Amino acid sequence: MQPSAEFVHWLFATGFLVLGLCLLSEAIVGPEVWNQRPWRAYLWPGTAFLMGIGMWPVMILFTNSTLHMVAHSAWAQVLMLAGGAELALVRGRLSSRYWHLTIALALVVSGTASLVHEQNPWYFSRSAFIHHAMGWILITGALFPLARTFRPRSFVLSAGFAVTFLVVSVLLYSHRDVADIFGHLSPAAGAPHR
Amino acid sequence: MVWVVRAEPALPLEQPRVRRSARTRVVAAIGPVTVLAAVVWTLFQPYRLTLLHPEGQSFWWLAVEPPLLIVVVGLLFSALVAPGLIEDLEDAD
């Protein structure tokens, strides 16, 4: 009954899609309009927090290696930290703008974990390629929330932050357990299916 | 008997068109574009939609179908988020 890894990647892709669409809308209308309705202000931080909670079963069930467990638990912790900090900022429990830096931290830790826990080279399989690409996109994408902390009204920074999540979503949706990437698939990866 | 025919309609036939700002149009388009992306994906890779060939599929193949997940997200965004956001945006404009 336990789902294979590709299903989990697709479910998290959906979470990143929700995050991306919400953040893109917020970038377009501006934070004042977006935060006019309280439930909307809680929407994306709440989604991030729930995704952090959802990473814990992944950490417990997918125990391919110690590195996988460490990476998944690191993701869970930083997602919950960033989501929780943003929820507290919306609620007014936290007031310093520097708490927005937890998002940049979450992206850097997530990207590093993605790179570290992928032991195979880029063209080993599609899964390997996606983990390498996702890692570098997350680390590079951390620049957007980092700069956005100091320039919260910048459309370019807000839109770039949203697009980072949308790109990650596309990568995760294209994940397969064993499939080729641009015609490359190592024989050691196993037989591709569908 | 005298019949009186009034020429003018009781109500204007066309409501004056409200011009929407570019931002409003973009927000309104996000949900439909998301759904359209999933439809285009399905056209290119119909095998990713196991609902089209459900015989012999396991639970997860039927429960987690990426194009359907994207359609659901797009529809929910259009139904739940976009209307209120457009209303607030038009008030702000």
Q: Measured between CA atoms, how close is B64 to chain A, in angstroms?
A: 6
Nearest CA in chain B to A21: B30
Q: Across the interface, which of A3, A13, A33 has its CB nearest the CB of B88? A: A33
CB contact, 8 Å: A14 with chain B? yes
Q: How many domains does chain A have?
A: 1
The CATH number of the domain where A13 resides is what?
1.25.40
Structural domain includes residue A27: yes
Task: Please state the length of chain B.
Answer: 93
Q: How many CB atoms lie within 10 A of CB B24?
A: 20
- Read off the pTM: 0.89
Structural domain includes residue A128: yes
Taking residues A139-153, report their average pLDDT: 94
pLDDT-derived band at B4 (thresholds 50, 70, 90) equals low
What's the rounded Cα separation, in Å, for the pair B47 and B51? 9
Q: Reduced to 3 states, what is the DSSP secondary structure of residue A184?
A: strand
H-type alpha helices, chain A = 5-29, 31-34, 38-61, 66-91, 101-116, 126-141, 143-150, 155-173
Provide the domain limits for residue A105.
Answer: 5-181
pLDDT(A86) > 90: yes
pLDDT tens for B5-56 read 666 656 655 655 666 789 999 999 999 999 999 999 999 999 888 888 888 8
- Give A-chain residues touching B66 at CB under 8 angstroms: 10, 13, 173
Taking residues A184-188, report their average pLDDT: 85
Structural domain includes residue A191: no
Among A110, A44, A40, A45, smallest CA distance to A77 is for: A110
pLDDT tens for B43-55 read 999 988 888 888 8
**Which residues 135-194 on chain A approach chain B with CB closer than 8 angstroms?**
173, 194
What is the structure's pLDDT at A118?
A: 86
